[in-house]
Amino acid sequence: MIEDDFYATIKLKSGEEIFAKVAAEEESDRTILVVSNPVTISEVKARIGTVGYKVEPWLKTSSDDMFFINLNDVLTMSESNDIDMILIHQEYVRKTDDNPISGSSNHKLDKKMGYLSNVNDAREVLEKLYNTPSSKDITNN
């Protein structure tokens, strides 16, 4: 049985702190948290105090948006009714849905995006540039 979804801040035993939309699922011998679009949120500060928040995906190398966490791995969890944090999370989800980071993007690589090279070719070009005397060096000799 899946409980109603709610927003929560979750502190894992590993020390990580995430914010996500959460649902709890009871299995025969354990409780599993289903977290949707988990993010880490950090304050961005300036000399005048807090300026804003930096929102990043919890797992940066995954394109999945739903994860399962065993409740035994959770140190504490706090349901959030903070409208600002919920709106920040919803905006993050909307932006990631509009502009997927994964390989499913509609953009194809081409030479107009920048110079494409492998390491050996780039090293060869840079060595030629470095070893070629400049016009200033030639005129001074």
Model confidence over 85-103: pLDDT tens digits? 999 999 999 888 776 554 4
Question: Measuring CA to CA, which residue among 64, 2, 73, 71 is closest to residue 36?
Answer: 64
* pLDDT of amino acid 110: 58
Residue boundaries of the structural domains of the chain? 1-102
* pLDDT of amino acid 131: 86
| Half-sphere CA count of 63, side-chain side, radius 13 A | 8
Residue type, position 92, single letter: Y
CATH 3.40.50.1370 fits 1-102, yes or no: no
**pTM of the predicted structure, to 2 decimals:** 0.64
Q: pLDDT tens-digit profile of 30-68? A: 889 999 999 998 888 888 876 788 899 999 888 888 999
